[in-house]
Each structure stands twice: as C-alpha cells, then as structure tokens.
Chain A
Amino acid sequence: MADMHGLIDTLQFVFAPQIVNGLSIGVAVILMALGLTIIFGLLDVINMAHGEFYALGAYLAVSLLAAGVNFWVCLVAVPVLMLPVGYVVERALIQRVFDRKDRHVLTLLLTFGLGVVLEDAFRVVYGPNTVRVDTPIGGAAQILGMYFPNYRLFVMAVGAAIVAAVWIVVFRTSMGAIVRAAAYDRQMASSLGVPVARVYSATFAFGIGLAGLAGVLLAPIYSVFPTMGKDFILLAFTVVIVGGLGSIKGAVIAGIVLMQIQALASLYISPVWTDPLLFGVMVLVLMWRPRGLFGALGNG
C-alpha cells in the first residue's frame, strides 16, 4: 500500500510535471517544424534561415509593443507582416535558382546566407542585449497539485489550434488541394492551370508567417536576442527529419514523441546529454526508414 502511494507520488510530482513541460516545449518546436516541413514539402527547399525568421517575428513584436500596440494585436499583425517578407524572399532569391540542377543545395545555401545577414542585422538594429516581452497573461493554475503558468497553457492551446487549422487548410480546402497538387506533380498542376510560381511564393510566405507567429507567441517565455534563431532550429530539424520532410502529421507526432523522450530522459541523465540522445534516435529512425516516419506532403 505504501509502495502504491510512493508510485502515485512519483507519477504526480516527478513524471507528470516533466510530461507537461515536455508538451509545452514540444508545442514550440512543432510550430517551428510546421513551417519548415510545409516549405520543404512543396518547394523542396530547406530553409536554413527559418530560425532567423522566427527571431524576426519576435523582434517585430518588440517594435510593435514599444510603439504601444497591444500584445493580442501583435499576435495577428506580426504573421500578417511576415507574409510579404516571405513572398519577396521567395521571389527575389529562391525563384532565381529554382530551375538549376542542384536547387536543393543552392536554395539551402541561399537561405543559409540570408540567415547570416539577418542575425547580424538584428544586432545592428536592436543591439546585442536581450529584450524581455512581458507575459500578457499572468498567474498560474494549480492542476492535480501541479503548478502551471496560465500563459503556457494558453500557448499549448493556441499551438494545438494552429496545427488543426494548418491541417484543415492543407487537407480539407480547395486551396490546400491546389498546393498539394503542385507539390505532387509540378508539370501536371501547371498544365491544369494552377499558377504554380505564385502558389510556391504564397506557400513560402505562409511558412514564414508561421515562423513569425511562433516568434511572437514564444517571446514572453524565451525572451528575444539576436541569436535566438539558433535555439530551436536543431530540434526543429531533428523533428522534421524524424517525422519525414514534408509531412505535417510526421512533424506533430515526432515533435511530441521526441520532446517527451527529452523531458523524461533528463530525469535520469544530465540534460547536456539529451541532445546526443535525440540525435541518436534520429539516426536510428533514418536507418530503419531513410525518409523519416511519414510520407511527404504531396502523397498525404
């Protein structure tokens, strides 16, 4: 009986908080991974600057907040502002090398260079010091004896809503069908009258908008500084690779599973070693399934 109590205590006070924390970080990683995987699924482009676009979203929010704009307005305004940025980047940079043979490599290099420039630009414009964004929802909730900040609960709810919304747009609307058609067979879609080039730009913009949204949403928790883009990028790439590049379902499932592994493993091993652990999981998955757990966007 005493053992039973001990077990419940362990579950409630050791494992449960860790699981919830893992979920909360998982939402952050999934938001990053979603944009990455959608852009790859359609354009075959690995966006190495994705982290920097996430940072750009956060910095735009900092500027808007400083100008007196309400946080909730920012949450909508920043992703909208990011759309034209993404559109222009796709038109001005990606499209230029899109028809070359090694476009995988070339677009990866382009976005890598863009990331280098953006990160330094943040330093020039906003300075090297960390900027805080105040939590728009204060306080914390007590759930099953666990203490949990309200804002994090909000972020998890919003994260789930965004995933659901993206899912519906891609798989249940005619717009989504056009995008998937373009991803599946470019020539075919084009000959059926789909404005493929514009679909590409719009999709890229959409992915960038998601990164910007993640930037605003997470700024109050993780604060804002020039190198913040590097924070989630390795985790996001790991999640996208394990889930299968281009797969939305894969990104979500891999995001949840990997972050749970990380959270629970950190109870037993030094947190420093959880990165190699996740990487090891990724390698094992790739050995078993070289293209990740789930198929690509076009085949979804």
Chain B
Amino acid sequence: MRTKSVITRLVAALAIGTSAPLFAQGNPIKIGVDTPLSGTYAPIGQQVKWGLELAAKEINAAGGVLGRPLQLTYEDGEANPAVATQKAEKLFQVDKVDFLTGTVNSGATLAVGQVAERNHRLMATTVSFADSITGDKCSPNVYRVNARAGQQSIALAEWLAKAKPKARVFFLGPDYEMGRSTVAAFKAAAEAKGAVTTGEVFAPLGNKDYSPFFGQIRAAHPDVLYTSVAGNDTVRLFSQLDEYGLLKGGMQIVGASGTVTSQNMGAIRKEAEGFVTGVGYSPEIDTPENRKFVKAFEAANKAPPDLYGADSYGVLYFYKAAVEKAKTTDTDKLRTAMADLEWMTPQGMKKMRAGDHQAIQDMYVVKLTGGEFKIISKVPGVAAIGPDECKRF
C-alpha cells in the first residue's frame, strides 16, 4: 500500500517535472512550525503537521510561491509558553523562517505572538480559539485563520433557537479563564435568542469526579446541558454522566468545539452520541475543494482530517495568496496584502478581517452521529463573526 502510494507520487512528480517551469525552484520560503509534538497535545500537533505537509506538497508540486518552494521546519513547543517561545526564537533566529504557525494552546499563541512581534515577523494560529487572541490581546503580527470561540457560540446558539426554542439550559464549564469566558459567550448568545438559564457550575480543570455536580443538574431539569470542558475531562464527564444515568433522559448535550474531538472521541464514541457543537470545519462539507482535500488527506495520512488539520492546510494557502499579492515576503508589505485578503480553503472562501486579523468564514453546526460529525446547520460567515474588538492597530 505504502510503496504503491510512493510510486504514484513519484510518477506524479515526474509528470509535473517534465513541464519544467511548474516545479518550484529558487530559494525556499521557510515556514516555522512551533507545535506540540510531545505531551498531551501531541495528537493535535499531529493534525497540524499533516495539514501543513499536504498543503506544502501540493503548493510545491504546482510551482511553489513566486517560483520558490515552501520548506517546513518543526520544533516541539510542548504546549508550554516557556518552551514554545524559546523554540520560536530558534526558528526566527537560527532557521531564519519567514513565517510561523502551529501554536495550539492560547497561552503559547499569545507569548509566541509577542516573539514574532519583537522579531518583526508574522505568524498565524490554526488551532487556538480564545477570543482574546484577536480581541483585547490582539497583535499586528498575529493572524488567526481558524474560527474563534465567539463564532462557534453564535452558530450553536442560532441552531439551538431553531431546534429547541426557549430551551432551559444548564452550563458546566472548567473553572479557568478560557472555560468561563466560553460559557459566558455562549450564555449571552443563547439568552439573546430566548434560551433560559437554569444554573451554572464550574469544575476545576482536570477534575476527577463530576458526580458532585449531578445533583444540581438533576434538580434543575434542563433540556440542554452546555459544557466547555475538553480533553481527558470530557471523557470523565461523559462516562460519569452515563454512569449516573443522566444520558438517558433525553437531555441534549451541546458544547465547545474542543469538547469532543478526534483525540478523545475514541474513548467516548458511545456516550457522546448526539453531541452538538458549532465548528468552522467538518470533513462532511460537500464542496469540490473539500472532497478533494479529504481524499488527499486520507490518502497521505490514513486518517481523516479534523478542524485542526483543515485549518493548518488552509493557512499555507493564506500565506501563498498574501505573498503572491505582495510579490515579496517582506513583513510590512505582507501585512498590507493580508488586509481583507480572500482565499480559498476546504471550507470555502475565507476573508481575513483587517481590523483584528480574524478570519471570517461560514460556520457549521455538527452532530455526532454514529461516531462521525454530521452537519445539521450552516450559519453564514458575516452572521457569526461578531464585532471587531481589537484596539491595538
């Protein structure tokens, strides 16, 4: 199987190679990838890597950017800001990368963004969804090509208002800044659409046991449980909800896009069935671009893309479009070119809002059905984007 795909790739390369000018030549454009390759977030880093590699391969096979090939350089940021900044400096100073991407957790994205600023280079995140990155902590050198938490909340609230009008909602979030702000954002969006709040609790991050909260949930008789826990916490929450019989009463569970992901879905395939969330990507999207992307991604990696893989694939096309528009990799000229830039991604056209460097894109509401996220609703980009709250530039 593997040999066969290598041969097909070789043949393809040769076929393209014969039409000489198409092959990327000249000095490579270097892209630094500062992403967690070890530790808890390594599976997300894996998707980032797969997405980037596929896009780089395609772009280079089609002649590169301004005739120059893209070259990816990886560093393990360990999802720890103290490590990620050190690796970012290495990428900028030693490897002399032109552009940086790959950061996952918001702490790392913010800190690495500052390194980019002080090194006078640009970076983009494809994973972090904390609103602050393109909100009150925005940076002229930091871009976000993926959807932020606010976009996800608005999309989910729109769907909720139609599917369960005036729903009684109970909120359960992890007790830290990100978890609280995600809950607050969805609560505001849902209440504006007529939902009623029946209670909210915050459990510590890395909470072992959610059963102490189940009494309150049971007593509140909610139609909908919203949660923004993530990772291992999600696994525990769902298995304990199941243990206590709370999944049987017809209560709809909705949540943040990071709550149930391809990383933890394997452990709770059965319990999380029916979970609904707002996201910026689904492999289900039925466009020629996405069908082609999913096929190529699965062929290359033997695994389907998730939102992280798709947005990491998209970021190189964003960079390519900007460089081709600016006709240079110079930071200031690129920044000008990136303002309100529109580019094609598996999700369709995205637009980089000049005011806060947040990508505007169509949003989807997806439901976990038979172990796969199926699209059940779509919200147009302009309806989900929310106001520009960046005041720094």
Contacts and interface: CB of A to CB of B under 8 A. Distances in A.
Given A128-B42, A129-B43, A266-B212, A223 B243 contact: no
Given A130-B264, A223-B236, A271 B202 contact: yes
A95 interface: no
Interface stretch (A76-84, A144-152, A198-206): A144-152
Interface residues of A, number: 37
Given A14-B215, A131-B267, A223-B239, A271 B208 contact: no
B208 A232 contact: yes
B175 A272 contact: yes
Contacts of B43: 127-129
B175 to A, nearest CB: 5
A129 B243 CA distance: 21
Nearest to A17: B215
B105 to A, nearest CB: 14
Contacts of A231: 206, 208
Nearest to B262: A129
Interface in A259-282: 263, 266, 270-272, 275
B244 A149 contact: yes
Interface in B41-58: 41-43
A21 B209 contact: yes
Nearest to B245: A140
B207 A223 contact: no
B268 interface: yes
Contact of B212 (A130, A222, A225, A263): A263
A223 B235 contact: yes
A231 B236 CA distance: 13
B211 interface: yes
Contact of B203 (A151, A225, A271): A271
A147 B219 CA distance: 12
A123 interface: yes
A226 to B, nearest CB: 8
For B41, B212, B235, B263, which residue has the most chain A Cβ atoms within 10 angstroms?
B212
A135 B211 contact: no
B2 interface: no
Contacts of B206: 231
B301 interface: no
A17 B210 CA distance: 12
Contacts of A28: 208
Given A13-B219, A14-B215, A271-B204, A129 B267 contact: yes
B28 interface: no
B328 interface: no
Contacts of B211: 21, 24
A69 interface: no
Interface residues of B, number: 34
B215 A223 contact: no
B380 interface: no
Contacts of A266: 212
Nearest to A152: B243
A132 B40 contact: no
B39 interface: yes
A221 interface: yes
A124 to B, nearest CB: 10
A223 B104 CA distance: 24
A140 B243 contact: yes
B38 interface: yes
Contacts of A131: 267
Nearest to A29: B208
B266 interface: yes
A123 B45 CA distance: 15
A235 to B, nearest CB: 9
A69 B42 CA distance: 30
Contacts of A223: 232, 235-236, 239, 267
A221 B218 CA distance: 20
B260 to A, nearest CB: 12
Nearest to B205: A272
Nearest to A135: B243
B194 interface: no
B208 A129 contact: no
A143 to B, nearest CB: 13
B231 interface: yes
A266 B202 CA distance: 11
Nearest to B40: A128
B38 A123 contact: yes
Interface in A180-226: 220-223, 225-226
A25 B208 contact: yes
A135 B245 CA distance: 13
A283 to B, nearest CB: 20
B198 interface: no
Nearest to A262: B212
A128 B202 contact: no
A147 B204 contact: no
Given A128-B42, A271-B203, A222 B209 contact: yes
14 contacts: A24-B211, A123-B42, A129-B263, A135-B239, A140-B243, A151-B243, A221-B209, A221-B239, A222-B236, A223-B232, A223-B235, A266-B212, A271-B175, A272-B202
Interface of A: 13-14, 17-18, 21, 24-25, 28, 123, 127-132, 135, 140, 147, 149, 151-152, 220-223, 225-228, 231-232, 263, 266, 270-272, 275
Q: What 4 A-B pairs are tightest by C-beta distance, nearest first?
A: A132-B267, A149-B243, A130-B235, A17-B215
Interface of B: 38-43, 175, 202-204, 206-209, 211-212, 214-215, 218-219, 231-232, 235-236, 239-240, 243-245, 263-264, 266-268
